[in-house]
């Protein structure tokens, strides 16, 4: 299911087998929250170097409905993407709604208790209950290749007692979700070609515990006792200082079993990806490259380009001379500046193509460096380039 092909320090070059194809790691997964990566066709995603996407339980369950998608052939057929899909469990979206444990206030947005989370749909106001079992069922209806355990994303800041209570609730939910997943997997009939026909959906557990190393260690220990197919580091990039996030990643990632994929959820910048890979992380996702593209914030080999700046109004050069993406091969900075200033949809499309291509090229570069044993030198070069990132 997962093979480590090469190492360089703590970093790993691996291959994850799924029923919709192999994934070369370390890998970045664009966010297709609603069954689409904004501004990108499936063909454009492939052309950018993307091999695996992320979908979301919370949003697709509410609209158009997981049973609708199931009856239309699953999420792959629905969105016409033939590669692997990982689905987030919905836990982070529940966290984002704003919760009050146990419904202590008169009108909490989310009630979280032992059973799960209860909230009003942000679409039509219907009362919705999302339990660990229901989250797994939705993800199976979607036909996900990688299913995520339903968890509670711990607040930041949180006291040790609050983080402990939240983490232990997530662990109890994880065991219930694992039991439901194993029952459903027995009847799993999704497949993709002869090579991967025998493979079934994979279930990843999520390590929680806030900024407390001992709680993180306890969480990982309990998850490995249950026996998941992979392990994610959750509850980061929720407002904590970068130094605290890095410390947790440096602690948890190397402690995850060596034969299992390691996934850092919701992170981040190119710098975050580089640091995560050096710490031993295999998988990443984040809305940053696509969201930033739509706001004219573009990543290049020479640093960040803010295309809305007046200096680009007459610039005839490509966005990034070292980039071979469709945008850089065909359009000038001046044209992108013009499209962005006019609010033209094409501007968002072209800039999203570039940012995702940049991220995927970076991951390919990191995979090659691990294979060659040159990651430390590459990391120094790339991190030094950060000083030129505000252009």
For residue 259, which of 233, 217, 234, 228 has the smallest C-alpha distance?
228
Neighbours of 326 (CB within 10 A): 16
State yes or no: is 88 an active-site residue.
yes
Neighbours of 57 (CB within 10 A): 27
- Locate 74 and state its tokens: 């699953």
Q: Is the peptide bond before 26 cis (omega within 30 degrees of 0)?
A: yes
- Locate 94 and state its tokens: 């529940």
Q: Is the peptide bond before 64 cis (omega within 30 degrees of 0)?
A: yes
Which residues neighbour 342 within 8 Å (Cβ) at sequence distance 6 or greater? Answer: none
- Locate 167 and state its tokens: 């983490």
Q: From CA 52, how far away is CA 283, in angstroms rounded? A: 10
Q: What is the separation of C-alpha 185 from the centre of its chain, rounded to a whole number of angstroms? A: 23
Instruction: Name 23's bridge partners.
Output: 16
**Active-site option among 145, 229, 282, 285:** 285
State yes or no: is 285 an active-site residue.
yes
Cβ distance 334 to 315 under 8 Å? Answer: yes
Enclosing H/E stretch for 203: strand 202-207
Q: Is the peptide bond before 157 cis (omega within 30 degrees of 0)?
A: yes
**Active-site option among 8, 88, 229, 282:** 88
Which residues neighbour 38 within 8 Å (Cβ) at sequence distance 6 or greater? Answer: 290, 294, 348, 352
Helix (H, G, I), strand (E, B) or coil at 336: helix
Instruction: Give the residue numbers annotated as catalytic, written as ranges.
Output: 88, 285
């Amino acid at each position: 299911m997962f093979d480590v092909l090469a190492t360089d320090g703590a970093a790993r070059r691996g291959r994850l087998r799924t029923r919709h194809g192999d994934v070369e790691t370390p890998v970045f997964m664009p966010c297709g929250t609603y069954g689409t990566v904004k501004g990108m066709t499936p063909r454009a995603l492939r052309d950018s170097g993307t091999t695996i996407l992320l979908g979301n339980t919370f949003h697709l369950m509410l609209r158009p409905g997981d049973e609708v998608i199931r009856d239309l052939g699953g999420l792959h057929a629905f969105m016409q993407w033939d590669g692997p899909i990982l689905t987030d469990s919905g836990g982070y979206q529940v966290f984002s709604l704003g919760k009050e444990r146990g419904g202590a206030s008169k009108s909490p947005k989310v009630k979280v208790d032992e059973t799960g989370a209860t909230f009003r749909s942000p679409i039509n106001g219907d009362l919705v209950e999302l339990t660990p079992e229901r989250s797994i069922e939705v993800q199976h209806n979607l036909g996900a290749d990688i299913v995520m355990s339903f968890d509670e994303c711990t607040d930041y800041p949180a006291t040790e007692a609050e983080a402990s209570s939240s983490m232990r609730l997530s662990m109890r939910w994880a065991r219930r979700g694992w039991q439901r997943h194993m029952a459903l997997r027995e009847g799993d009939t999704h497949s993709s070609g002869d090579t991967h026909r025998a493979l079934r959906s994979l279930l990843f557990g999520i390590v929680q515990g806030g900024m407390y190393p001992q709680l993180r260690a306890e969480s990982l220990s309990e998850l490995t006792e249950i026996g998941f197919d992979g392990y994610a580091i959750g509850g980061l990039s929720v407002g904590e200082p970068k130094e605290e996030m890095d410390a947790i990643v440096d602690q948890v990632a190397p402690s995850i079993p060596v034969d299992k994929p390691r996934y850092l959820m919701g992170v981040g910048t190119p710098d975050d990806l580089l640091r995560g890979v050096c710490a031993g992380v295999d998988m990443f996702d984040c809305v940053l490259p696509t969201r930033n593209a739509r706001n004219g914030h573009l990543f290049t080999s020479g640093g960040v380009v803010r295309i809305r700046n007046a200096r680009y109004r007459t610039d005839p050069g490509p966005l990034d001379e070292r980039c071979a993406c469709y945008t850089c091969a065909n359009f000038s900075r001046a044209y992108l500046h013009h499209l962005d200033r006019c609010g033209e949809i094409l501007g968002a499309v072209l800039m999203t193509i570039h940012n995702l291509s940049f991220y995927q090229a970076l991951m390919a570069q990191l995979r090659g460096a691990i294979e060659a044993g040159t990651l430390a030198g590459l990391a120094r070069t790339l991190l030094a380039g950060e000083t030129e990132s505000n252009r």
